[in-house]
Chain A
Amino acid sequence: MESLIFAVVLLALGFFFGRYAESKHYKSIRKRESQYRHKPVLSGKTALSEKNINKSQLAVGSVVVSIDRFKLMVSTIQNLLGGEVHAFSSLIDRGRREATLRMMESSPGADGYYNFKIETSTISGSSKNGLGTIEVMAYATAVSFHS
């Protein structure tokens, strides 16, 4: 009985705090994305016009995010039914956008970011709690042009 109550409390905590944290995080992501919108982030490297480039430097950004207990339970149910697991998509989306922003913030003076790569890996914090924790790393070559 106690363990059941404990599990329900954990789910409720996950539901309310997770929801609040997610909306707060999205707000901050949207705000920062609008600040950096004018800078191109390209996955190609052929767009480089060598003449204009003044400086180039590696830019790296990374983040570790995890889903809350409630979403973990929802994802387990969705997993049984098959189809798209929506509970995870917001987690991955948040992680990728945050990592990209951190990469841009690591070299704020750059005019563009070329050869953008993103890598996602699963981190098992501990064997029991590790489920649903991912690390996202974004890296690119930050270039600045001659004025």
Chain B
Amino acid sequence: MILTNIETVPGQEIVEHYGLVSGSTIRAKHAGRDFMAGIKNIFGGELKGYTELLRESRAQSMERMVSQASKLGANAIVNIRFATSTVAVGAAEIFAYGTAVKVSPSSRQIEN
């Protein structure tokens, strides 16, 4: 699966269009992590627990988006966008969406 956040896949041609695909997840860290982040907040700097949480949730929402696209028979997702929102204390929602397409090497590319 080729993922890009531009409208096309460079060097390839879009031959079929399957429409919008999306994936989202809401995750929270356990109370221990929240507590540690609270302590870390005194000193400032990176809160590794939360970075990890958001990375995991992003990976999961992208996974969901990809599985939706592959069910449709797509081999690429273009124009991917992300959105993050806080739904509750200590819980974050990550939403990923894009356009599922089928691409093939463009004829121009083969000539070269």
A interface residues with partner B (beta carbon < 8 Å): 10, 13-14, 17-18, 21-22, 25, 45, 48, 50-51, 53-54, 56-58, 60, 62-69, 71, 91, 98, 114-115, 117, 119, 121-130, 132-133, 135, 137, 139-141, 143
B interface residues with partner A (beta carbon < 8 Å): 2-7, 9-11, 34, 37-38, 40-47, 50-51, 54-55, 58, 80, 82-86, 89-90, 92, 106, 108-109, 112
A54–B51 alpha-carbon span in the complex (Å): 32
Q: Identify 17 residue pairs between A and B in the complex whose beta-carbon atoms are under 8 Å apart, listed by A's number.
A: A21-B44, A50-B108, A51-B109, A54-B11, A56-B11, A62-B58, A68-B41, A69-B41, A114-B6, A121-B84, A124-B89, A125-B89, A129-B38, A133-B50, A135-B92, A141-B4, A141-B6
A71–B80 alpha-carbon span in the complex (Å): 36
Q: Is the CB of A66 within 8 A of B45?
A: yes
* B112 surroundings in chain A (CB, below 8 A): 51
Q: A58-B5, A63-B51, A127-B89 are in contact. Are A135 and B84 (CB under 8 A)?
A: yes
Q: Which of the residues B10, B40, B83, B85 comes within 8 Å of A66, measured between beta carbons? A: B40
Q: A14-B44, A25-B45, A98-B46 are in contact. Are A50 and B10 (CB under 8 A)?
A: yes
A117–B80 alpha-carbon span in the complex (Å): 11
- Whole-angstrom distance from the CB of B42 to the nearest CB of chain A? 5
Q: A48-B6, A56-B9, A64-B54 are in contact. Are A13 and B43 (CB under 8 A)?
A: yes
Q: Chain B: interface secondary structure?
A: mixed
Q: Is the CB of B44 within 8 A of A66?
A: yes
Q: Which of the residues A14, A53, A68, A71 comes within 8 Å of B11, measured between beta carbons? A: A53
Q: Is the CB of A68 within 8 A of B43?
A: yes
Q: Which of the residues B2, B37, B42, B84 comes within 8 Å of A119, measured between beta carbons? A: B84
Q: Is the CB of A45 within 8 A of B6?
A: yes
Q: A51-B112, A126-B89 are in contact. Are A18 and B43 (CB under 8 A)?
A: yes
Q: Which of the residues B6, B42, B106 comes within 8 Å of A115, measured between beta carbons? A: B6
Q: Is the CB of B82 within 8 A of A137?
A: yes
* A140 surroundings in chain B (CB, below 8 A): 5
Q: Is the CB of B45 within 8 A of A126?
A: no
